[in-house]
Structure 1
């Protein structure tokens, strides 16, 4: 066998090896995609709300990463401002109503501070009494 023939055989062997590796990689990728699709289908049937939440989260992430177009900004700015104003008004109304109702129930900040002081004082008294009882018991058992 000549040297040129040996080189050609070596090249064919390398080419065949590379071709087989490419086929194996393709088969592995195809199987992986198939398995991923099957798993996704199983997840959708087992937990559709979880899948929906995941889809919404992925969509929000993609939307956050994509730059906003000039047209979107012009179209959405008035709606965003109105939404923010409405939300601010709702928060203020809820805060005011909640504060008013707590005041009617006597649950003010001052009353809360006083209650906390009373609880802490009671806990301190209980701890002191327990410690005195334990000390008396230890001294009496000598």
Structure 2
């Protein structure tokens, strides 16, 4: 202990320990807040899927089709599959078109609109955005307080 320190004066080690403890508490709070927001987003997504299951199915199919369309054919696929590959591709394209049409008919029959689907997806995205924003703000707050 130096001449200027009294038993009540916190040492550098004490201050570092306090800062660490405070940061840990804030991190736990941020984690809990993020987990709560994620749970809320999950519940909103589940409600949206329960309300509009065909819209969710259509969204999943659309995402799958988009991914498949973005993946290029390789030379090995072309060489190995040749005519059979082209036939499979044509059949898959026809099946996708039939599924798309059947899905549209069923959605029209159930009076499920594009707007309802867009709203469900937007609600999910908003929940995820809010959870990420809350987590980031809590983490940033912790970092600022320890500086």
Q: TM-score, normalised by structure 2?
A: 0.45
Higher relative contact order (CA 8 A, sep 6+): 2
Write 1 or 2 for the structure with the bigger share of helix: 1
